[in-house]
Structure 1
């Protein structure tokens, strides 16, 4: 399975928060040949189930690993329609006004997509003070090129707006495009499922393409609660090295997947990832995250009574812009790391991961449920 082809396909699809359906359909198609079961839950998360040979835990439960990567992208939504037919927009996720000027966009209406462009006051008509400032989101507007009456017939307040930007290959193994945050993560899960199909593994694996991460980690929270895995590994992007960002805040492109360490990360999950990387010669880089990771891992960690959680990230430049950049080698290494870690989990490893007291808690919960 080719990483570039999978990523290009996924990054070409619009999927703003709450409207991930078209992306979900593509993910389902990619995952069906790789899993025993693929389903979509009530919130829209896509869940692939790969059964292992069976690893029994106290209370009769089977050991399981959840992989999670969000499939929504930063976007805008129509906040108002002006008398002249121009659309004022608001952010759905962390849209950066600095990156929006002059971009082509798509307004997703009930009657179908409308092409548009993002505009603002011409520089010739701005004051000296305005010229020194970054335009605010409320100063921008979308022009769909229709008369005001036609705009009002076709567009409704609340319609989502996404960037129109095709993915492209750069030099070497680099790739650019919009929504690589986090179609990269979904690509990692896809490649990991293909890798896992060639391995023996005792644990069950749930691969989850989550929804609405950009607006509150919602899909991760609901899917983790519903699946109740033994442990989980979230996959996302992290800040790649680029000018203007301190070295301590970035991870190098092309040097492997970033493995997070900090309060959001269970020490034994971190240990399992490190051991798998060492055993199979997988390139990784450390990523210290002292507090909130801002990823699906943050919500998964506190689902139910707590789920031991890890975080694997792909370094990415120009985050939340229409020209994000990743190295495909890092994508492949992240996928290898997920598959290798799952394949190495035996009874002893599972017991170490869950920690003291876990077996009694789980056994008691299973007994109460019967």
Structure 2
């Protein structure tokens, strides 16, 4: 599959937290030819099952690896309907008011979508002090261009609102759009499934497009509990290099996928990812994350009695804005990494990952070689 086409298709669909069904339908269509089984669970996660040749575990069952990437996007919801018909809004996820001014939006109502625009007080009427301040969400409103009585008839408090922005190619391998966080991750899983279909692998693979990550890692929590994989890799985006962010807080765009190291990452999973990258010449970059990663990996790691977890991220600029930017080569390298690691998981590798003695890895040993 073409990475740009897959990403453009997925990023062009609205999927706010709790309303991911249209994205899920597209994911199911993409994954069905690549998997043994594709289903949705009770919360709405899309789960693709790819059976391997079979690798028995000492305690019974078969060894498996879970890949997880969330498919929801940051959004707004209708908080109130004013007498004049304007909609006041609240955030569903980390919406940034600085990026919302004058944006075209869609209000998703029970009767169908309504086009609208985000407005605030005109600059001519703001005081000097107001002009120096960033507008707050409560200062913004959505205008759908209908009479007040029609607005109240068609819109309900709680209806979700998403930014209207079509994906676009920039120069070279760069692509921009809304909701690249984290349709990029779902694209990585799609390409990895395609790559895996060309390779022999012993372990079973569960690819999961998770829901409601932006409001609490909920889909990852439930799917990890239900699948109970032997190990897991979460795929998300991370901060790409751009002005205004210290170098130590970013990863270079176009230099490969970021492989996280820190408390959220099992040292043997990290080691297995880096071994796969070295063996197959896959471009990766280190990403130190000392505490919470804020990704699906954070929830998966503590599911049930604990699941050995890794985190692979695609560098992304302008996060949580309608104009996020990624490099498609990074997307492809992340997909290659997932498939390569899964194909290399044999009985010895799985025993090293989850068997006794993994705690004996010296601090820093897994990250010694890049």
Bin for the TM-score computed over the shorter chain: over 0.9
Change (3 A) 1:358 1:162: same
SS in 2 for 1:225: helix
Change (3 A) 1:359 1:175: closer
- Name the CA distance, whole Å, in 1 between partners of 2:366 and 2:128: 68
Question: Which residues of structure 2 form unaligned runs of 5+?
Answer: none
- Name the CA distance, whole Å, in 1 between partners of 2:366 and 2:232: 20
Change (3 A) 1:169 1:355: same
Change (3 A) 1:322 1:199: same
Deviations 1:335-368 (A, max 9, x none): 0000000000000000000131799999999999
Deviations 1:37-69 (A, max 9, x none): 000000000000000000001122100000000
Deviations 1:251-276 (A, max 9, x none): 00000000000000000000000000
Deviations 1:56-85 (A, max 9, x none): 011221000000000000000000000000
SS in 1 for 2:312: strand
Deviations 1:18-42 (A, max 9, x none): 0000000000000000000000000
Deviations 1:296-334 (A, max 9, x none): 000000000000000000000000000000000000000
Change (3 A) 1:172 1:42: same
SS in 2 for 1:238: strand
Change (3 A) 1:365 1:148: farther
In the other structure, the counterpart of 2:20 is: 20
Number of equivalent positions: 370
Change (3 A) 1:317 1:364: closer
Change (3 A) 1:122 1:368: closer
Whether the aligned pair in 1 keeps the contact of 2:107 and 2:116 (CA below 8 Å) is: yes
Deviations 1:228-285 (A, max 9, x none): 0000000000000000000000000000000000000000000000000000000000
Whether the aligned pair in 1 keeps the contact of 2:231 and 2:307 (CA below 8 Å) is: yes
Deviations 1:114-143 (A, max 9, x none): 000000000000000000000000000000
- Name the CA distance, whole Å, in 2 between partners of 1:367 and 1:243: 28
Whether the aligned pair in 2 keeps the contact of 1:316 and 1:325 (CA below 8 Å) is: yes
Deviations 1:158-191 (A, max 9, x none): 0000000000000000000000000000000000
Change (3 A) 1:278 1:360: closer
In the other structure, the counterpart of 2:273 is: 273
Change (3 A) 1:365 1:136: closer
Whether the aligned pair in 1 keeps the contact of 2:116 and 2:142 (CA below 8 Å) is: yes
Whether the aligned pair in 1 keeps the contact of 2:271 and 2:367 (CA below 8 Å) is: no
Change (3 A) 1:268 1:101: same
TM-score (norm 2): 0.96
- Name the CA distance, whole Å, in 2 between partners of 1:139 and 1:123: 13
C-alpha RMSD over aligned residues = 5.4
- Name the CA distance, whole Å, in 1 between partners of 2:360 and 2:126: 68
SS in 1 for 2:47: strand
In the other structure, the counterpart of 1:143 is: 143
Whether the aligned pair in 2 keeps the contact of 1:58 and 1:362 (CA below 8 Å) is: no
Which runs of structure 1 show a deviation greater than 4 angstroms over 4 or more consecutive aligned residues? 357-370
Whether the aligned pair in 1 keeps the contact of 2:176 and 2:323 (CA below 8 Å) is: yes
Whether the aligned pair in 1 keeps the contact of 2:261 and 2:367 (CA below 8 Å) is: no
- Name the CA distance, whole Å, in 2 between partners of 1:362 and 1:35: 38
Change (3 A) 1:129 1:177: same
Change (3 A) 1:157 1:171: same
